[in-house]
Amino acid sequence: MTAEGDENYLTTAEVARRLQVKPETIYAYVSRGLLTSTRARGRRGSLFSAAEVDRLAARSVDHSGVVERIESELTLLENDELYYRGQSARALATSWTVEQVATLLWTAQSPAQSPEPTSAPSPAPGPAPASGLAPSRSTPSTAKAVFGVEREGVLLARAAMGVVPDGARLTDRLRVAVAVLGAADPLRFDLSAPSVTAAAGRLIGTLVTALPGEHVDSGATLGARLWPKLSDEAPRPEVLDAALILLADHGLAVSTVAARVAASARANLYAVISAGLGALDGQYHGAAPTLAYEFLRRAQQDPLKALSDQLRSGEPIPGFGHRIYQHRDPRADVLLGLLGDHPIVGTIAAVAERTPMFPNSDLAIAATMHAYNFRPDAGDALFALARMIGWTAHALEEYAAPALRFRAMGIYTGQTS
C-alpha cells in the first residue's frame, strides 16, 4: 500500500510523539493490526494515516500495554464497602442464600422468593435451627434448582479426585475434577447464557458433593452441603453460606482477570474456571487464608510472641490490612460477627490492639476454621468454590463482549542483529 500525498499521513517519529510511545511500539501496533503502515513514493520509512492514529489515541487504553479497560456491572468496591449489582454484600450475606446471590450475579435478577436484603448485617445469630438453615433464608428448593447434581458427574468427580496423592489439598482435587468434568461435557462449547449458568450450578454442586465427607441432601443450601466436608463439628451452615457469599467476587482480582482473559478467547466455562484456579493457587492470592490460619494457630498460644516473631521476619502480618480497603474489611466484619464471643475472636483482638492494621477476610476465614475445627486446607477450598460463582458471572460478561480484546504489549529488550 502506498500514500500518494503525505499531508494526511504521519511519520513513525510523529506517531510515537502523538501516542507517547517508543518507535518500537509503533511496529508492534502494526503487527497487531492496530495501525496500518503505508509507503510514499520516493520516501523512505513508513507512514501512517493521521485519522487512524487519532482513533487509536482516543481509545481508553494504556498505550504501553494496549489492554482494554474492563467494564463490569458486577461488583463495586467503594468507601470500605462491597456491593454486588448495587446490593450491599454485607446485607446479602445475612439475609440471602448463596443460591440467591449466584442468581443475582449471573442473571442480574433478584429471585422472586428472596426477602429484600436489609441495609445492615443482622446481629450474630444463635445456634442454627434443627433444619440446619438460618430462619431468614429461602427454602431448600432454591438450592437444589441452582446447584443441582447428577449422579454420573459425582461419580466421575470422585474418581478424578481419587487420582491425586493422599496428601493433596482439597484445591488440588477441585482442579483435577474440574478438568475431568469439562472433558466429559459434550455441550461445554455452548456459550449461551442459559447453558453457562446451568453448567456452573451443576459444576459447583457436583464438586461440593464429590468432596470427601458426609453427604447432605442436595436440597440444602450450599453451605449446609459443604459443612461436613470441612468439619466434624455441629453444623453452622449460615456461617459458610455467608462466607461463600462474601468471597464470591471482589472485582478484578488476579484470578478473575485470568478467568476473563480465558473467556475473551471463548474458552468454555470449565476452562475459564481452570484459569481462575490456576491464578488462585499463587502464594499471594488463594493461599492467604492458610497463611492467616497458621498465624492464628501461633497467636492462640501467645498473641504477643506470634506478632513479635512475625514482625521480626520482615513479612506482612497474615490476615491484617488490605490494598483496597482503608479502615476495615466489611467481609471480615460480618464473618467475625457470626463467631460471637468465641475465644478466637479474643485472640484476634489481642493482636489487633497492637497493630494499626485491621483484620481482613483471610483472617476471618482462618478464625472460622479454628472456631469449628475445619481441616487445615479448608480455607483455600472455600475461597476457590466461592470465587467460581464470581468467575462465572465475569465469564458471562466477557462472552457478551468482543472476543480476544486483551493482549498486553510486549516490548522486546533482547539483542538485535
Q: What is the mean pLDDT of the chain?
A: 85
In this structure, the number of other CB atoms found within 10 A of the CB of residue 214 comes to 10
Share of the chain above pLDDT 90, in %: 62
| Mean pLDDT value across residues 204-230 | 92
| Mean pLDDT value across residues 90-106 | 95
- pLDDT confidence of residue 138: 45
| Mean pLDDT value across residues 149-161 | 94
| pLDDT for residue 167 is more than 90 | no
CA distance 414 to 417: 10
Give every strand in the sheet of 47-49, ordered side by side: 9-11, 47-49, 37-38
Q: Could you say which DSSP state residue 47 is in? A: E
Q: Label residue 274 by pLDDT band (50, 70, 90).
A: very high
Q: Which three cell numbers stand for residue 256?
A: 478473575
| pLDDT for residue 58 is more than 80 | no
Taking the domains of the chain in order of start, what are their residue ranges?
A: 9-58, 67-417
| pLDDT for residue 233 is more than 50 | yes
| Mean pLDDT value across residues 283-295 | 81
In this structure, the number of other CB atoms found within 10 A of the CB of residue 129 comes to 11
Q: Which residue has the higher pLDDT, 384 or 118?
A: 384
- pLDDT confidence of residue 2: 42
| pLDDT for residue 381 is more than 50 | yes
Give every strand in the sheet of 75-78, ordered side by side: 75-78, 81-84, 87-88
Closest CA to 309 of 345, 354, 349: 354
Q: Which three cell numbers stand for residue 60?
A: 481508553
| Mean pLDDT value across residues 384-404 | 95
Question: What is the H or E stretch that residue 125 is in?
Answer: none
Q: Which residue has the higher pLDDT, 408 or 201?
A: 201
Q: Label residue 68 by pLDDT band (50, 70, 90).
A: low
- pLDDT confidence of residue 136: 42
Pick left, alpha or beta for residue 22 (phi over 0 → left; psi -120 to 50 → alpha; otherwise beta). beta
| pLDDT for residue 125 is more than 90 | no
Q: Which three cell numbers stand for residue 3?
A: 500514500
Q: What is the CATH number of domain 67-417?
A: 1.10.580.10
Pick from 11-20, 201-210, 290-299: least confident: 11-20
| pLDDT for residue 123 is more than 70 | no
- pLDDT confidence of residue 287: 75
- pLDDT confidence of residue 231: 96
- pLDDT confidence of residue 139: 44
Q: Which residue has the higher pLDDT, 12 or 331?
A: 331
Q: Label residue 286 by pLDDT band (50, 70, 90).
A: low
- pLDDT confidence of residue 119: 37
CA distance 254 to 246: 17
Pick from 186-190, 212-216, 371-375: least confident: 212-216
Closest CA to 174 of 158, 190, 185: 158
Question: What is the H or E stretch that residue 290 is in?
Answer: helix 288-301
Residue type, 410: G
| Mean pLDDT value across residues 160-172 | 93
Q: Could you say which DSSP state residue 72 is in? A: -
Question: What is the H or E stretch that residue 200 is in?
Answer: helix 193-210
- pLDDT confidence of residue 370: 95
- pLDDT confidence of residue 129: 32
pTM: 0.78
